[in-house]
Structure 1
Amino acid sequence: MSLRHRRLPLTRHGGRAVVALLTASLALTGPAGATPRGDGDGALKARLRELVERPDGPPGAIAVLRDGDRVRVVRAGVAELGTQRQPLATDHMRLASAAKAFSGAVALRLVDCGMLSLDDTLGKRLPSLPDAWHAVTLRQLLQHTSGLPDYSAAPDFVDVIRADPHHVFDSRHLLDFVADEGLEFAPGSRYQYSNSDNIAVALMAEAVTGQRYEDLLASKVYRPLGLRGTSLPEGYRLPEPYLHGYAVEPGAPAEDVTTLFGASGSWASGGVVSTPADFNTFMAAYAGGKLIGDATRRQQRTFIDGASEPAGPGANKAGLAIFKYTTRCGVVYGHTGNTAGYTQLGVGTPDGRRSLTVSVTSQVNQTNTPDLLAHLRAVEEDFVCALLNDRGPHTQGHP
Structure 2
Amino acid sequence: MHLSSALRAASVAALCVAVLTPVTAAGPASAAPRGGDDHRLQEQLDRFVRSPGGPPAVIAVLHYGRKTRVLTAGAADLRTGRPPRPDDHMRIASTAKAYSGVVALALADRGALDLDDTLARRLPRLPAAWGAVTLRQLLQHTSGLPDYSESTVFRDEIRADPRHHFDSRRLLDYVADKPLRFAPGSRYQYSNSDNIAVALMAEAATGTRYESLLRELVYRPLGLHRTSLPQGYRMPKPYMHGYAVDPPAAPEDVSEVLGMSGVWASGGIVSTPADMNRFVRGYVGGALFGGRMIHAQRRWIEGSSEPAGPGHNRAGLALFRYDTRCGAVYGHTGNTLGYTQLVAASPDGRRSLTFSATTQINKATDPAQVERMRELEENLVCALLRHP
When normalised by structure 1's length, the TM-score is: 0.90
Given the alignment, which residue of 103, 118, 122 partners 1:106?
103
Given the alignment, which residue of 95, 106, 121 partners 1:124?
121
Deviation at 1:212, TM superposition (A): 0.3
2:4 corresponds to 1:12? yes
Partner of 2:55: 58
Listed as ranges, the gaps of 5+ residues in structure 1 are: 1-9, 26-39, 392-399
Deviation at 1:288, TM superposition (A): 2.3
Deviation at 1:17, TM superposition (A): 4.6
Listed as ranges, the gaps of 5+ residues in structure 2 are: 19-36
Contact kept, 8 Å, 1:307 with 1:316, in 2: the verdict is: yes
2:279 is aligned with what amino acid? Answer: F
2:39 corresponds to 1:42? yes
Partner of 2:378: 381
When normalised by structure 2's length, the TM-score is: 0.92
Given the alignment, which residue of 303, 307, 310 partners 2:304?
307
Deviation at 1:260, TM superposition (A): 1.1
Contact kept, 8 Å, 2:242 with 2:359, in 1: the verdict is: yes
What are the residue-to-residue correspondences of 1:326-341 with 2, within 5 Å? 326-341=323-338
C-alpha distance in 2, partners of 1:188/1:365? 26
Aligned to 1:147, what secondary structure does the other structure show?
coil
How big is each residue's C-alpha offset from its partner over 1:191-248, in whole Å with a ceiling of 9 and x where there is no partner?
0000000000000000011000000000000000000000000000110000000010
Partner of 2:349: 352
C-alpha distance in 2, partners of 1:305/1:287? 19
2:185 corresponds to 1:193? no
C-alpha distance in 2, partners of 1:294/1:233? 32
C-alpha distance in 1, partners of 2:38/2:74? 16
Contact kept, 8 Å, 1:24 with 1:269, in 2: the verdict is: no
Deviation at 1:13, TM superposition (A): 3.8
C-alpha distance in 1, partners of 2:126/2:13? 29
Given the alignment, which residue of 61, 67, 70 partners 1:73?
70
C-alpha distance in 2, partners of 1:209/1:216? 9
Given the alignment, which residue of 85, 90, 113 partners 1:88?
85
Aligned to 1:343, what secondary structure does the other structure show?
strand
2:240 corresponds to 1:248? no
C-alpha distance in 1, partners of 2:129/2:135? 15
Deviation at 1:20, TM superposition (A): 2.9
Aligned to 2:383, what secondary structure does the other structure show?
helix
Question: Which structure shows the higher helix fraction?
Answer: 2
Given the alignment, which residue of 256, 269, 274 partners 1:272?
269
C-alpha distance in 2, partners of 1:303/1:57? 32
2:258 corresponds to 1:261? yes
Deviation at 1:24, TM superposition (A): 2.5
Deviation at 1:343, TM superposition (A): 0.2
How big is each residue's C-alpha offset from its partner over 1:311-339, in whole Å with a ceiling of 9 and x where there is no partner?
00000001000000000000000000000
Contact kept, 8 Å, 2:286 with 2:294, in 1: the verdict is: no
Deviation at 1:42, TM superposition (A): 1.9
C-alpha distance in 1, partners of 2:5/2:290? 50
1:204 is aligned with what amino acid? Answer: M
Aligned to 1:20, what secondary structure does the other structure show?
helix
C-alpha distance in 1, partners of 2:350/2:377? 19
C-alpha distance in 1, partners of 2:94/2:280? 14
C-alpha distance in 2, partners of 1:13/1:144? 34
1:158 is aligned with what amino acid? Answer: R
Contact kept, 8 Å, 2:96 with 2:265, in 1: the verdict is: yes
Aligned to 2:106, what secondary structure does the other structure show?
helix
Partner of 2:17: 24
2:130 is aligned with what amino acid? Answer: W
User: RMSD between aligned alpha carbons?
Assistant: 1.4
C-alpha distance in 1, partners of 2:365/2:285? 33
Cα distance 1:232–1:208, how it changes in 2: closer, same or farther (>3 A)? same
Partner of 1:34: none
How big is each residue's C-alpha offset from its partner over 1:11-54, in whole Å with a ceiling of 9 and x where there is no partner?
4149x9546343322xxxxxxxxxxxxxx812111111111111
Aligned to 2:117, what secondary structure does the other structure show?
coil
How big is each residue's C-alpha offset from its partner over 1:81-100, in whole Å with a ceiling of 9 and x where there is no partner?
12221100000000111000
C-alpha distance in 2, partners of 1:122/1:82? 48
2:297 is aligned with what amino acid? Answer: Q
Contact kept, 8 Å, 2:112 with 2:205, in 1: the verdict is: yes
How big is each residue's C-alpha offset from its partner over 1:267-296, in whole Å with a ceiling of 9 and x where there is no partner?
000000000000010011112231221110
Deviation at 1:55, TM superposition (A): 2.2
How big is each residue's C-alpha offset from its partner over 1:120-166, in whole Å with a ceiling of 9 and x where there is no partner?
00001111110000000000000000000000000010010000000
C-alpha distance in 1, partners of 2:166/2:142? 26
Higher RCO (C-alpha 8 Å, min separation 6): 2
Deviation at 1:306, TM superposition (A): 0.5
